[in-house]
């Protein structure tokens, strides 16, 4: 436990020395202020086209940010040889990995909190109104996205040999999960029997953190009928208390699974080295 805390502390320290973190901080702050400007033109509470485009903007930036910061941090360990050194110490791989994860989460969540905090204060000072409910939902949406994509980033950091590889894979994963996702699914599912499409689509949606977090927020924002008659049960279910709980469970399962796999790979490599 204390090992894990040490690793996390070091990660936070290194994280905030990293110029990347600050460039993302500035980028995200500017970005959140522009979100505020967009939202100020919106007179409608609940889900509307404007909220939709705000969600899309967040979906473009945050996954990319967490993928970069997360995967670089792990590949740096390999490139700079600090992992080789740490391997000789009595430090568990699990503690190391968890420490890394928590440290990086703190860095990323700090960036997000800064951006949202700034946006909130400017909102109040300028007198533009941002509904508290929407604000909180957006904040949690962003945190959820960052935490899930950080788990993906650890995967990338594990599989990539160096930073360049990590960069390439990160961009690829980002493009695949955020932009090309519907295109690829529509193309592939088109070849399958009609009745398979919906169940497969649902399964794939659960595999893509960007998608399931987005859908959860869309429904929570009251875009009840936006998913159409095909998914009315979903809407009812997500609005109920068990919906939020199951979402949380799914979220945890996702994190635990990724972290376990990543740990296992590192442990195997460690024992072979």
For other proteins, the closer CB: 17 or 272: 17
Least gap, CB of 255 to other proteins (angstroms): 21
Q: Exposed, middle or buried by CB within 10 Å (0-12, 13-18, 19+), for 271?
A: exposed
CA distances from 3 to 166, 223, 250, 266 (A): 26, 45, 28, 17
CA–CA separation, 54 vs 3, rounded Å?
40
Least gap, CB of 178 to other proteins (angstroms): 6
CB 264 within 8 A of CB 256: no
CA pseudo-torsion sign 68, 71, 74, 77 = negative
Helices (H) and strands (E) in the chain, counts: 12, 0
Least gap, CB of 12 to other proteins (angstroms): 5
Least gap, CB of 121 to other proteins (angstroms): 5
Least gap, CB of 236 to other proteins (angstroms): 5
For other proteins, the closer CB: 226 or 261: 226
Burial profile 37-54: b = 16 or more Cβ within 10 angstroms, e = fewer: eebeebeeeebeebbeeb
For other proteins, the closer CB: 78 or 220: 220
Give 162's DSSP letter.
S
For other proteins, the closer CB: 25 or 152: 25
CB 63 within 8 A of CB 145: yes
For other proteins, the closer CB: 165 or 205: 205
For other proteins, the closer CB: 59 or 98: 59
CB 35 within 8 A of CB 27: no
CA distances from 79 to 15, 56, 164 (A): 16, 34, 11
Closest by alpha carbon to 129, among 29, 41, 212, 242?
A: 41
Q: What are phi and psi of 201, to 5 degrees?
A: -60, -40
Least gap, CB of 198 to other proteins (angstroms): 4
Least gap, CB of 222 to other proteins (angstroms): 4
For other proteins, the closer CB: 137 or 159: 137
């Amino acid at each position: 436990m204390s090992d894990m805390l040490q690793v996390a502390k070091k990660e936070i320290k290194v994280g905030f020395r990293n110029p990347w973190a600050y460039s993302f901080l500035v980028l995200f702050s500017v970005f959140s202020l522009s979100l505020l400007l967009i939202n100020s033109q919106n007179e409608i509470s609940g889900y509307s086209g404007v909220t939709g485009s705000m969600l899309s903007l967040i979906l473009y930036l945050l996954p990319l940010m967490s993928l970069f910061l997360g995967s670089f941090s792990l590949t740096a360990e390999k490139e700079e040889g600090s992992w080789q050194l740490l391997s000789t110490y009595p430090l568990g791989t699990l503690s190391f990995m968890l420490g890394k994860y928590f440290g990086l989460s703190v860095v990323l969540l700090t960036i997000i909190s800064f951006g949202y905090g700034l946006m909130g204060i400017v909102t109040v000072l300028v007198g533009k109104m941002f509904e508290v409910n929407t604000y909180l939902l957006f904040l949690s949406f962003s945190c959820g996205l960052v935490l899930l994509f950080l788990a993906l980033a650890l995967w990338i950091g594990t599989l990539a040999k160096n930073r360049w590889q990590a960069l390439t894979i990160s961009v690829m994963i980002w493009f695949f999960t955020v932009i090309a996702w519907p295109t690829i699914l529509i193309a592939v599912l088109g070849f399958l029997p009609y009745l398979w499409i919906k169940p497969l689509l649902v399964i794939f949606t659960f595999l893509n953190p960007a998608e399931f977090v987005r859908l959860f927020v869309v429904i929570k924002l009251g875009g009840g009928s936006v998913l159409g008659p095909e998914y009315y049960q979903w809407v009812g279910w997500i609005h109920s208390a068990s919906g939020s709980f199951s979402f949380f469970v799914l979220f945890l399962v996702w994190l635990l699974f990724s972290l376990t796999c990543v740990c296992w790979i590192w442990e195997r490599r460690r024992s072979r080295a």
